[in-house]
């Protein structure tokens, strides 16, 4: 929403989230070193907190309405808020006014970029964003980290577990059996030790109700287990919304994290290369050195597609991403347009490329086009490697106790 008053000059560019709360919270860390960093577009929600460690300055969540602004705009709004009624404060509380003036001068130093500084954003709803001024290349000065919310943070967002809102205690199935039926041996309580675990049929498609991530209307999600030859079982989930037409599909590995990470180098130069099947997990990053492109694992999510489908999904993601098109001085729409044109050349077989898929969890797969399974595919190079400490930390393996876990 945007509002501007011609009489008093009041302006408002407040935003309200129209989608669902993200599954994970998000933290952004931006190192402001260049003028283009001040012009980066920033999307803040009501749940976004802002910190500047160099000044020990914080804007708590829920203290400001969500807005679309820039890095410079965040500093300018803070200065405007601190200097409001400053003239009256100088007369009534001169010492406090002097302290505020000193702090405002420090904020002005940051706004003039007289020295580098750091901007930290944290949003437990996951609905905040900082523009990549280097798009479509990897941003060298901005880092994003997703995190799982705590129980208290879920409560702040109005999210509660089923057992937290249950008014009445759950009645066991055995207590629902009347004594007369039990005595006649018509119905007897089930003994879990005597039961058998029924495996999910590979041909069965399970369906459950969920909400559309776009319009929040009720939608059906289909789930099926599929066995990929020479790899493993995966779980494919697809959601179709009948109200807004939104479609999404997601692939998750049916097994655990592999002992080693895997790196695929796929050469794409001919039409046949585009039909190569690719299973990309959500922990797999994609690089295309010829286009100077790097896409994080969660950007495209888990997908079971082809090389062509992966490239087209990347193009669609870039064309629809927030912040890559705008009128701020730091935005370069011509650069993005040129990149999409080069990507179109790749899809038309005018430019050969190499797709590099790096999955530290080892849950990705690329089809070999060799007729003989024992013959190596010249267009595919597979490397298995030991994960680094940082990769294990990101996967949550460093804190996992696998031996003697029954001990206190």
Determine what percent of the chain is predicted with pLDDT higher than 70: 80
Q: What is the pLDDT of residue 285?
A: 92
For 40-70, the pLDDT digits (tens) are: 999 998 899 999 999 999 999 988 888 889 9
Where residue 351 falls among pLDDT bands split at 50, 70, 90?
very high
Q: Taking residues 360-381, what's their average pLDDT?
A: 85
Mean pLDDT of the chain: 81
What was the pLDDT predicted at 121? 96
Q: What is the pLDDT of residues 6-49, one digit of tens each?
A: 777 666 666 666 667 888 899 999 999 999 999 999 999 889 99
pLDDT, tens digit (0-9, with 9 covering 90-100), for 253-263 = 777 788 899 99
Predicted local confidence at residue 182, as pLDDT: 46
pLDDT of residue 330: 46
Residue 329, pLDDT above cutoff 50: no
Residue tagged 């997990």 (tokens):
281
DSSP tag of 302: S
Element (H, E) at 74: helix 71-83
Q: Taking the domains of the chain in order of start, what are their residue ranges?
A: 14-156, 213-324+332-400
pLDDT of residue 141: 93
Bigger pLDDT: 401 vs 114: 114
Indicate whether 333 pLDDT > 90: no
Q: How far apart are CA 260 and CA 366, in angstroms?
A: 16
Buried/exposed 217-255: b ≥16 CB within 10 Å, e otherwise: eebebebbbeeeeebeebbbbebebeeeeeeebbbebee
* Identical topology for domains 14-156 and 213-324+332-400: yes
pLDDT beyond 50 at 197: no
Long-range pairs for 195-201: beta carbons < 8 A, 24 or more residues apart: 200/225
3-state secondary structure at position 4: strand
Pairing of strands 353-359, 261-268: antiparallel
Where does the pLDDT of residue 326 fall: very low under 50, low under 70, confident under 90, or very high at 90 and above? very low
Q: Which CATH architecture has domain 14-156?
A: Sandwich (2.60)
CATH for the stretch 213-324+332-400: 2.60.120.1040
Q: What percent of the chain has pLDDT over 90?
A: 34
Output the CA torsion 252→258→260→262 (10° steps).
-30
The pLDDT of residue 277 is above 80 = yes
Q: With 60 as the cut, is the pLDDT of residue 270 above it?
A: yes
> What tokens appear for 37 in the block?
């960093």
């Amino acid at each position: 929403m945007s509002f501007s008053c011609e009489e008093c000059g009041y302006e408002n560019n407040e935003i309200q989230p129209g989608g669902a709360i993200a599954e994970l919270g998000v933290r952004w860390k931006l190192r402001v070193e260049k003028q283009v960093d001040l012009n980066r577009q920033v999307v803040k929600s009501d749940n976004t907190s802002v910190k500047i460690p160099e000044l020990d300055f914080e804007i708590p969540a829920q203290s400001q309405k969500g807005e679309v602004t820039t890095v410079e705009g965040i500093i300018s709004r803070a200065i405007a808020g601190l200097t409001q009624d400053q003239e009256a404060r100088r007369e009534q509380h001169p010492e406090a006014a002097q302290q505020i003036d000193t702090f405002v001068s420090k904020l002005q130093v940051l706004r003039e970029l007289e020295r580098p500084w750091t901007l930290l954003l944290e949003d437990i709803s996951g609905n905040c964003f900082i523009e990549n001024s280097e798009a479509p290349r990897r941003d060298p000065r901005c880092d994003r980290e997703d995190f799982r919310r705590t129980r208290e943070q879920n409560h702040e967002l109005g999210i509660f577990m089923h057992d937290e809102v249950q008014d009445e205690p759950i009645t066991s199935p055995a207590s629902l059996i009347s004594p007369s039926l039990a005595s006649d041996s018509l119905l007897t309580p089930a003994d879990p030790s005597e039961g058998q675990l029924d495996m999910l049929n590979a041909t069965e498609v399970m369906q459950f109700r969920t909400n559309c991530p776009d319009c929040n209307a009720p939608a059906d999600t289909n789930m099926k287990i599929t066995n990929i030859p020479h790899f493993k079982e995966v779980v494919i989930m697809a959601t179709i919304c009948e109200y807004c037409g939104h479609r999404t599909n997601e692939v998750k590995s049916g097994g655990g994290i592999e002992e080693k990470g895997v790196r695929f180098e796929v050469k794409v130069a001919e039409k046949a290369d585009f039909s190569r099947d690719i299973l990309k997990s959500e922990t797999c990053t994609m690089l295309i050195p010829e286009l100077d492109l790097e896409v994080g694992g969660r950007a495209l999510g888990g997908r079971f597609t082809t090389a062509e489908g992966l490239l087209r999904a990347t193009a669609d993601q870039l064309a629809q991403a927030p912040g890559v098109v705008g009128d701020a001085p730091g935005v370069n729409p011509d650069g993005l347009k040129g990149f999409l044109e080069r990507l179109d050349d790749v899809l038309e077989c005018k430019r050969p490329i190499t797709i590099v898929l790096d999955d530290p969890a080892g849950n990705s797969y690329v089809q070999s086009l060799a007729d003989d399974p024992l013959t190596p595919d010249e267009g595919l190079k597979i490397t298995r490697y030991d994960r680094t400490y940082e990769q294990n930390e990101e996967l949550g393996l460093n804190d996992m106790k696998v031996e003697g876990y029954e001990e206190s």
